[in-house]
Amino acid sequence: MLAIRAALIAKGQGHRKRVLAPESSHGTNPATAAQCGFTVDEIPAAADGRVDMAALKAKLVDSSDVAGIMLTNPNTCGLFERDMKRIADAVHAAGAFVYCDGANFNAIVGRVRPGDLGVDAMHINLHKTFSTPHGGGGPGAGSVGVSERLRPFLPIPMIEKRDDGSFGW
């Protein structure tokens, strides 16, 4: 979320301070957005437990202050957001970013490429996706992946794949 904020500031859009957070997203999503200085605007769930597309579109009517959306996919109800690409397209059309919480990525790892769904930033929770211990010293979060448009705003060092196939920074 700090990379998103930095990207907006660099584009002269530091006034974008509203982050949309579906009520079906992980509870850390609105907390993280608020901690990063954003105002949180909740999106209700539809009857099926997924993002209410009509409510999302209504929040994007006056989108000049929308920085992005922060959602979990699959959501905390365990439901895959079937409209993920439509959600991302609508948020991008409003000039904002898509942050996907990878808390439940274990359900779709190896089946879906988040970038194909329009995700600009996503963290992978090691304690769920790759079964490392949670609590008691085990890591709760792992890598963060971003789209090319957020890459210049990542903190350093970054681990990158070299032309020879090795990794380093």
pLDDT bucket at 52, cuts 50 / 70 / 90: very high
Report whether pLDDT(30) > 70.
Answer: yes
DSSP letters for 50-111: SB-HHHHHHHTTT-TTEEEEEEESS-TTS---TTHHHHHHHHHHTT-EEEEEETTGGGTTTT
**N- to C-terminal Cα distance for the chain?**
22
Distance, in Å, from the CA atom of 157 to the CA atom of 69, rounded to the nearest integer, reads 26
Report whether pLDDT(135) > 80.
Answer: no
pLDDT bucket at 58, cuts 50 / 70 / 90: very high
Report whether pLDDT(84) > 80.
Answer: yes
Nearest CA to 6 among 154, 168, 118, 164? 154
Higher pLDDT, 133 or 146: 146
Residue 147 is encoded by which pair of tokens? 């789209």
pTM for the predicted model, two decimal places: 0.86
Q: How much is the average pLDDT of 154-165?
A: 84
Cβ neighbours of residue 33 under 8 Å, at least 6 residues apart?
1, 19, 21, 40, 70
